Structure 1
């Protein structure tokens, strides 16, 4: 969502510098934010859909007959969770993510979820905790365009909340269409999974 936080107002001149449509500021903000998050992620193709066939012998999937409902390994250590699933005939894929509530090295979630029927030999994805998120100083983005500000904050691991609001008088002409306020301020410590709000001149 891109707009004014105080009221539903048109985003056309003279309220804004340009007529704002989905392909203008919203698209630029999305491109900057998504590009920063995915900058080091290699491109990959979507997997081909796998047809399932129901017959007298039951449901078959990509690797064979469906086993019993999956056992929950949430809360288990990575070693124990992997052993349980491998012993049951599944493959395991791990990815790490920060968590404030789950200790480092333990499973936060699994996909498919516990209880779901799943083909023996299929791959179970486990989210494994790396512990609490890293706390780093927030970069200052004052005076930057929305695109550059979102890219800089995204590269540091922060979510970005953009608010379109005119800078109070006396303002500064050189900050037209630029960030004039941010919370938290530049230099303040913040966990990298938190959001930074920026105010953008129309």
Structure 2
């Protein structure tokens, strides 16, 4: 068996397993497309093996279906699964970032840059060419980023790397300032809040 044939066989195996997993969880293709931020046609391509399925895509599918890596392997082997569990993890590998939240400064800056352009995560996924869950996983620290991907996201948001590096050098980031301001505002009287609201309206 050639390397290409083996790769296609493995891809088809994942495609069948993901379809079986979706059906076992009683999730329609339309609902799956909604959860993943993909088109219905994209879901059909993945489940038929006509699209490449890598670990990141498997991770996204499992998160959308609330399945663990262990449960997925059982489904892949044609076995049933038990839902009596307290905690979940997408893969058993302790180093995999798809289920561990590690929010780095880079991740926080990317989120700030998105918010500065008033982009929702749905809009960000469209301009970046990523799925909606992927944007969420990035901002939640579940996906490890390399410089190339950071550059792509920054550029897609309409910012320059100079702006990215400028924010990286800031000791206190925008989100911290906003959070601190919100905390102070919660303790203000209604009159003071009105004054602040009027002040903000003048900018």
| TM-score category (smaller protein) | under 0.3
Where is the helix percentage greater, Structure 1 or Structure 2? 2
Q: Structure with the greater relative contact order (CA < 8 A, sep ≥ 6): 1 or 2?
A: 1
Where is the strand percentage greater, Structure 1 or Structure 2? 1
TM-score (norm 2): 0.21
